[in-house]
Amino acid sequence: MPLALRLENVSFSYGNGPLVLRDVDLTIERGEFVAIAGPNGGGKTTLLRLVLGLQQPSSGRVEVFTARRGYLAQRAQATIDAPLTVRELVTAGRAPRTRLLGPLVRGDREAVRVAIARVGLLPQADRRLSTLSGGQQQRAFIAKALAAEPELLALDEPTTGVDVDAQEAIAGLLQQLQAELAMTILYVSHEFGAVEQFVERLVLVRGRIVHDGPPSSLPDLWHDPSHAHA
């Protein structure tokens, strides 16, 4: 399979601080669904930001072979509280594919509608975000990322603040999107239990990659109570 991304001997630090990531090698093929987990401060979000080009490595090389990327950052409460409807939020996600000025053309409006439909929110398209449940809000943000028609979808803590049923529903939605659209999905979370049955690989990051393989092959140390928030 062609590659989606490759990191070779990548290290990273913020300014003159200690290394957040050290000697990371990682290859992900197109169409894979990969969970990236680890403790707070372990470098998993930094790894995602390096893949997206939001940070540059201190050493090593990052190569991404997919031109269109969608990014769901950790939710900002200010955005949820803003008087935005689902459709308005998702329309904002279309910006990378549209002209800088002028109204959306028919194709853009259809792409927004399709993105909302894919996450099952067409009945709520003109409702304000603040009136939706936590799980529905996260679906709206996923739709925003989908509006750009990405080949690579990166999600940072997509199930924070939602209940277990909503976490499992979101994980199932992502699996469905991967199957239908053949997109590469990177799912960063310390609450990866809901997605464990759906992902093909789990990459465990603690300053470096300490595990890369099927979730079923995860070392017993993961289940140590001291790593409950990994």
Phi, psi of 64, deg, nearest 5: -120, 125
Asked if 181 contacts 154 with a C-beta cutoff of 8 angstroms, the reply is no
Q: Which two tokens stand for residue 79?
A: 């955005």
Percent over 70 (pLDDT), the chain: 87
Q: CATH 3.40.50.300 region(s) of the chain?
A: 1-67+151-230
What is the per-residue pLDDT for 30? Answer: 95
Residue 222 confidence (pLDDT) above 60 = no
Model pLDDT for residues 123-156, shown as the tens digit of each residue: 999 999 989 988 899 899 999 999 999 999 999 9
Closest among 158, 149, 135, 156 to 180, alpha carbons compared: 149
Asked if 208 contacts 42 with a C-beta cutoff of 8 angstroms, the reply is no
Using alpha carbons, list the distances in angstroms from residue 187 to 31, 32, 103: 13, 11, 33
Q: What is the Cα 46 distance to its own chain's centre?
A: 13
Mutual angle of helices 134-146 and 164-181, in 10-degree steps? 20
What is the per-residue pLDDT for 153? Answer: 95
Q: What's the mean pLDDT in 20-44?
A: 93
Closest among 134, 206, 208, 149 to 182, alpha carbons compared: 149
What is the per-residue pLDDT for 167? Answer: 84
Question: 184 has which bridge partners?
Answer: 152
Residue 228 confidence (pLDDT) above 80 = no
Using alpha carbons, list the distances in angstroms from residue 218 to 196, 208, 212, 228: 11, 16, 8, 14
What is the per-residue pLDDT for 120? Answer: 95
Mean pLDDT across the chain, nearest whole number?
86
> Would you list the DSSP string of 29-54?
ETT-EEEEE--TTSSHHHHHHHHTTS
Q: Which one is the CATH code of 1-67+151-230: 3.30.420.40, 3.30.70.1140, 3.40.50.300, 2.40.110.10?
A: 3.40.50.300
Whose tokens are 């699996």? That residue is 175
Confidence of residue 38 (pLDDT cuts 50, 70, 90): confident
Residue 221 confidence (pLDDT) above 50 = no
Asked if 148 contacts 159 with a C-beta cutoff of 8 angstroms, the reply is no
Residue 74 confidence (pLDDT) above 60 = yes
Entry pTM: 0.86
What is the per-residue pLDDT for 95? Answer: 81
Q: Which two tokens stand for residue 106?
A: 């028919």
Q: What is the Cα 39 distance to its own chain's centre?
A: 17
What is the per-residue pLDDT for 102? Answer: 58
